[in-house]
Amino acid sequence: MRILFLLLVMVLSRWVTAQGPSRERISMDRNWKFHFGNASDTRLDFNYNINYNLSKAGSAKGCIAPDFNDSAWRKLDLPHDWAVEQDFVNIKNDGLQDHGFRAVGGLFPEKSIGWYRKSFFVSARDSGNRFSIHFDGIFRNSKIYLNGHYLGNNESGYSEFCLNVTDYLNFHKKNELVVRVDASQYEGWFYEGAGIYRHVWLEKTGPVHIAENGTYIRTNSANGSATVLVETDLRNNTFQASLEQIECYILDRNGKRVTGTVTVSVSMDAGGSVKSRHQLSVNDPILWSLENPYRYKLVTLVKQDGRIMDSTTTSFGIRTITIDPEKGLFLNGKPVKIHGVCCHQDHAGVGSAVPDALQFYRIRLLKEMGVNAYRTTHHPPTPELLEACDELGMLVLDENRLIGTSTEYMSQFERLILRDRNHPSVYMWSIGNEEGWIHSNDVGKRMALTLIQRQKELDPSRLSTYAADNGNYRPGINEVIPVRGFNYRITSIDDYHRENPGQPVYGSETGSTVCTRGIYIKDTVNGYVPDHDITYPSWASTAEQWWKPNADKDWFMGGFVWTGFDYRGEPTPYGWPCINSHFGIMDVCGFPKNNYYYYQSWWSDKDVLQISPHWNGSDHPSGWKMNDSVSVWCNSNAEEVELKLNGKSLGKKKMEKNGHLEWKVRYIPGKLEAFGIRNGKKLYASVETSGKSYKILLNPDRTTIQADGEDICVMNISVVDEKGREVSTAMNQLYFTLEGNGKIIGVGNGDPSSHEPDQYADGKWKRRLFNGKCQVIIQSGDQEGEIKFKASGEGMTIETLTLILTRGKSKKTFVAEKANQAF
């Protein structure tokens, strides 16, 4: 008995004194195996529903078993969206149409179950630590197994989740992680993808550690000083009580200390937890703003007898948000009108598996347009989207997936807030969107009150809103929500504000002009609508109709246009052959439509002068015949614009604030020119009749990328004629090859009715130009060197562009996949 006691003491001692800091976040994105299962035939689903997978601990059978032979499975890296790889199918079904006609979902059992397997090793040196596997997002209903043991499941396709695997790991042999993903059931009414489409991490901490999302930072600034309030959630996963010291200090962007160290001592019972509070002061702080999104770093150390047991570094911004019902939104005491967009998360070529660098690319495009706010419709975003908004200076309305107060939905809401509350870009929470069955009754009101109460408990520094599509109506959610959001019904906002003067008001979803880039006719056969601000659904409005009458109302906080980019699914106003929406200010590649320049004219400080349409003849679907009457639009912030055709003046017009100009012009081939004056500066724009495609132009967003196997180059492609004039109506088929340390991961062109593949498993990459443009997304390899990208087309010479791969300071480490890496 005494020997057993001594052994127990030795074990406990080893557990408690594991050396810190041991915290590490290790990527598990590389080298997975993938195979389809089957939702209707269990034999084709590796006998999942008939095997004894839950009868005994570790007894799982079939492909869940650790010794299962997966050598025939497909090898891939994460993030992965298998939906974007599937064919388009024309079956009359609302859900299928809303999801972009991809062969995934309940109608396609053979393509709606995906199995993933991952082998990895963990060193025996780490056996005294705590381990969790963290999934940023899986679409959709997922079940997780490790070494034959069932760990748990997650139902939402958008909520992160974390599973403690400490007791299940092998430290002297290989570990097998298995994920079964069931995308049979849709969650939204838009393209959602399928699979493990966000990152996966192995997280290691010591037994005494700061909890997941356990650091909460609030800031207040006044009179040249800032107060930083810190709350730390500390856990003691040992069998002994402990006494810890929690130290905090702040670094500036360059790593220089800007505060002293504040220390708080705490005691914890065995297996217990405690929350500590620190207060620090920063003199002459640099405030996070849209123009200068400056961030500091909070360093938190957990010490025991002078030894560091855990440490974290948390980025944050010092800024103050104020929302006033009569004066609107203020950031750091300065008024800000919301120039916002709603966005879904997919992009051309890659679907929902959007690389991190592509998130930054998309936010930069929006910033260039003059956008200052992003609504994450209609679900929690990927963490890298928020990182881009923090770094580039973009406010975020962070939206919950669905209103509900059951254990499941409350958990999703809590995970959203706990994860995102330290991001300075997040200025308000949205508890939900257009819950028409409940938002005007007492059920919705009670749910909203419960969610608001919980939000205030987890994050008292922000307010909540709700995106309501019920006009001038207050009973229900609207009567208890702190900030009233209007989805459309924009003509009702004045009456609502007059009747409810104490409640702030903004447009949570506005606009919804439908346009097809480069098309200027209604084409019901191909499913195209004109690329001018004239066509919109019955519930919505044009850009000018919603913005012009409301831009100068102080109490109106601004609004979020539906949408910043086209997205797969919801092909309004047509169905098949359309497979994605027309709502975007930019298409699904990020190529601007004409409304882009309307918003840029009035939302940015740039000098803007743009004329449309193209000036080509009848060889294009929306080309002009001689002497056709063409509606020529000018989007600009010039005070006055003169239009000329082939040198002849067609007249000058004064620009009305928040408006646009139009001329009716008889089509004659040649050159259409616009001359404007803004603040005494001359502005110029032109479109010109072009000849046939002659030369390919390659326009990369960058020519140097990181050799980390994850960074990307967005290659935008256009063509010019023999005289160097852009052929904005070109529809040529182009072909792409790549040599060197990288790969093509997706192609697109912005055509909402294109049924061309986004990805080519055989490596024979190609894409047709759509109105003069297409896009190729290139991903780097792991080695320094070069990538030679080549594009060719019939009648045009091969164009080559070289990308340079450099080894940067990558913060990411990868889990060991071989025994010698771990041991």
Backbone dihedral region for residue 242 (phi beyond 0: left; psi -120 to 50: alpha; all else: beta): beta
CB–CB of 205/310 below 8 Å?
Answer: yes
Q: Which residues pair with 736 in a beta bridge?
A: 765, 791
Which residues, at least 6 apart from 7, have a Cβ–Cβ distance to it below 8 Å? none
The sheet with strand 774-780 has its strands ordered as 695-700, 712-720, 774-780, 742-748
The DSSP 8-state label assigned to residue 44 in this structure reads G
Rounded CA separation 77/57 (Å): 29
How many CA atoms does the CB half-sphere of 274 hold within 13 Å? 18
Cis peptide before 378 (omega within 30 of 0): yes
Q: Catalytic: 434? A: yes
Rounded CA separation 298/247 (Å): 10
Catalytic residue among 509, 544, 570, 673: 509
Catalytic residue among 434, 640, 726, 799: 434
Residue position matching structure tokens 């060719």: 792
Rounded CA separation 134/512 (Å): 37
Three-state secondary structure along 293-327? CCCEEEEEEEEECCEEEEEEEEEECCCCEEEECCC
The sheet with strand 296-304 has its strands ordered as 262-268, 242-251, 296-304, 307-316
Alpha-helical segments (H) within 484-593: 493-499, 543-547
Alpha-helical segments (H) within 461-590: 493-499, 543-547
Q: Beta strand 200-205 with 208-222: parallel, antiparallel or unpaired? A: unpaired
User: Strand (E) positions, 258-306?
Assistant: 262-268, 273-283, 296-304
User: Strand (E) positions, 582-732?
Assistant: 609-612, 629-636, 640-645, 648-654, 661-666, 671-678, 681-688, 695-700, 704-706, 712-720
* 3-state DSSP assignment of residue 681: strand
Token couple for 598: 């309307």
Helix H or strand E encompassing 449:
helix 442-458
**Measured distance between the N- and C-terminal CA atoms of the chain, rounded to whole angstroms:** 35
Backbone dihedral region for residue 329 (phi beyond 0: left; psi -120 to 50: alpha; all else: beta): beta
DSSP 114-136: EEEEEEEB--GGGTTSEEEEEES
CA angle 3, 5, 10 (to 5 degrees): 95
State the CB neighbour count (10 A cutoff) for residue 127.
Answer: 16
Rounded CA separation 398/381 (Å): 8
The sheet with strand 200-205 has its strands ordered as 161-164, 130-135, 200-205, 24-27, 813-814
Rounded CA separation 301/314 (Å): 12
CB–CB of 560/341 below 8 Å?
Answer: yes
Q: Catalytic: 817? A: no
Q: Which residues pair with 788 in a beta bridge?
A: 739, 802
Q: Beta strand 813-814 with 704-706: parallel, antiparallel or unpaired? A: unpaired
CB–CB of 571/579 below 8 Å?
Answer: yes
State the CB neighbour count (10 A cutoff) for residue 537.
Answer: 14
List, by residue number, the catalytic residues: 434, 509
